Amino acid sequence: MNRDDVVIVAAARTPQGRLKGQLAGMTAVQLGSAAIAGALEKAGIPADAVDAVLVGQVLAAGAGQNPARQAAVGAGIPWTVHAGSVNKVCLSGLTAVIDAARMLRVGDATVVVAAGMESMTRAPHLLAGSRDGWSYGSIEVLDHMAYDGLTDAYDRESMGASTERANARFEVLGRKRLQLQSVTAKDLSAGDQVVLLHDDERAAFSEKLLHLLDQGKFLKGSSTRSSWLSIIRLVRAQSSISATGIKRKLDDTGVCVHVTTVNSWLPSSAEDDCGIPDTLPVFLAFASALGIALPQDTLKQWFADIHRLRVDHRKIGRQLARAIRGAYLSRLDPVTVARMEREWGLQAKMLLEAARVAVVDDVIPFTQ
């Protein structure tokens, strides 16, 4: 299996209950065990094939030692399997998935269960200071759910109130007042104020940026990719070979990959892109399994061009993420914009028009 062959083979969840609702009688561990067992059953993976279990959980007080271990054992996973909990508040479950993928990529595991579990109803109340005792006066009982799960540890403000307070700085409050206008690198100077808008608009900007680059700086790679996708579609239209059929042919050549991975290499009718094998030998074996009769030298050059394009796309994605984060952190200055223009080969005006930069007077100041 290739290093990057990280796939989700199945997923399961319990019904979502309300506070003190129909699932109130079940602990978070019981709910987690049920979900893990359901996912293993859907995937057809035996419990003893699991190498590690990572479980996101915020409200762990009163759940007993290592709730992740309890949930794993409750799902039939052996005691000898690594199990650990992750607490990153609302991102706990997603962080478990990210950490699981990281374990797979570095070769620490082959099968990892990534899960999340909570029971707000079962979250206990806490009597802080009880070991010291009290000599006089009233005492406060803390709600574990509110204190450890829903309240900012620094300003002691609820998450909901904190979100509303931060909206003005980051994107929401006053949006109707913003006068959108295009700016170029030469128009920007210290003291100007800009903000990049909502996630969906940033995603649209990213797509537009890559499209512009594919028509210019990355034209060779994008043209090769288009030719590759066209040939795959033509061959499949003529032979009707399935992903399973391709996998069998790959197995016969000693290339062992999951059928899900093979599917990721096949373009759908609606998409203009898809993945490619990570290594040249697997790429050549995949082309042979498809029945693509092109010279080896041509296929080798195509692999190099497409692989370079994907590396460039990832690099641009990282740079774009830093630029967007820089705007939020007051660091997207004229020098940065000029560098983006120079490195990406685009006019700053086109770049910033695509990004929908808003010039305002109360959001994020540039710094020189």
Span 187-245, pLDDT tens digits: 544 444 444 444 444 445 556 666 777 777 788 888 998 888 888 888 888 887 888 88
pLDDT at residue 351 in the model: 54
pLDDT at residue 192 in the model: 44
Q: In angstroms, how far is CA 177 from the centroid of its own chain?
A: 33
Look up residue 270 and give its two tokens. 């609606």
From residue 285, alpha-carbon distances to 55, 195, 257, 280, 365 in Å are 38, 48, 12, 9, 54
pLDDT at residue 343 in the model: 66
Nearest to 304 by CA among 241, 357, 225, 231: 225
pLDDT at residue 3 in the model: 54
Phi and psi at 26, nearest 5°, equal: -105, 140
pLDDT at residue 172 in the model: 42
pLDDT at residue 181 in the model: 40
Of 211 and 333, the structure prediction assigns the larger pLDDT to 211
**pLDDT for 270 beyond 70:** no
The answer to which of 16-25, 175-184, 198-207, 335-344 has the lowest mean pLDDT is 175-184
pLDDT at residue 320 in the model: 63
Domains of the chain: 1-125+142-156 (3.40.47.10), 178-368 (no CATH)
The answer to which of 20-24, 66-70, 214-218, 344-348 has the lowest mean pLDDT is 344-348
pLDDT at residue 278 in the model: 84
From residue 218, alpha-carbon distances to 101, 215, 226, 339, 345 in Å are 30, 7, 12, 18, 10
Contact predicate 159/151, CB 8 Å: yes
**pLDDT for 87 beyond 60:** yes
Confidence of residue 185 (pLDDT cuts 50, 70, 90): very low
Of 343 and 244, the structure prediction assigns the larger pLDDT to 244
Residues 125-138 pLDDT 10s: 999 888 888 888 88
pTM attached to this predicted model: 0.49
Residue 215 exposed, middle or buried by CB count within 10 Å (0-12, 13-18, 19+): exposed
The whole-chain average pLDDT of the chain stands at 78
Residues 22-60 pLDDT 10s: 899 999 999 999 999 999 999 999 999 999 999 999 999
Q: Give residue 39's identity as a one-letter amino acid code.
A: A
**pLDDT for 140 beyond 70:** yes
pLDDT, mean of residues 101-111: 91
**pLDDT for 82 beyond 80:** yes
Phi and psi at 357, nearest 5°, equal: -80, 135
pLDDT at residue 266 in the model: 85
Contact predicate 1/256, CB 8 Å: yes
From residue 41, alpha-carbon distances to 9, 23, 61 in Å are 11, 22, 30
| Neighbouring residues of 258: CB distance < 8 A, sequence distance ≥ 6 | 1, 5, 7, 9, 247
Look up residue 265 and give its two tokens. 């290499």
Helix ranges (DSSP H) in the chain: 28-43, 67-74, 92-106, 144, 159-170, 199-214, 219-239, 243-252, 259-264, 280-290, 296-328, 334-344, 348-355
A 10 A CB-CB count for 308 gives: 14
151 vs 163: CA distance, rounded Å: 11
Confidence of residue 310 (pLDDT cuts 50, 70, 90): confident
Helix (H, G, I), strand (E, B) or coil at 61: coil
Portion of the chain with pLDDT greater than 70, in percent = 70
Contact predicate 354/175, CB 8 Å: no
Nearest to 315 by CA among 326, 323, 303, 325: 323
Nearest to 363 by CA among 206, 191, 199, 205: 191
pLDDT at residue 91 in the model: 92
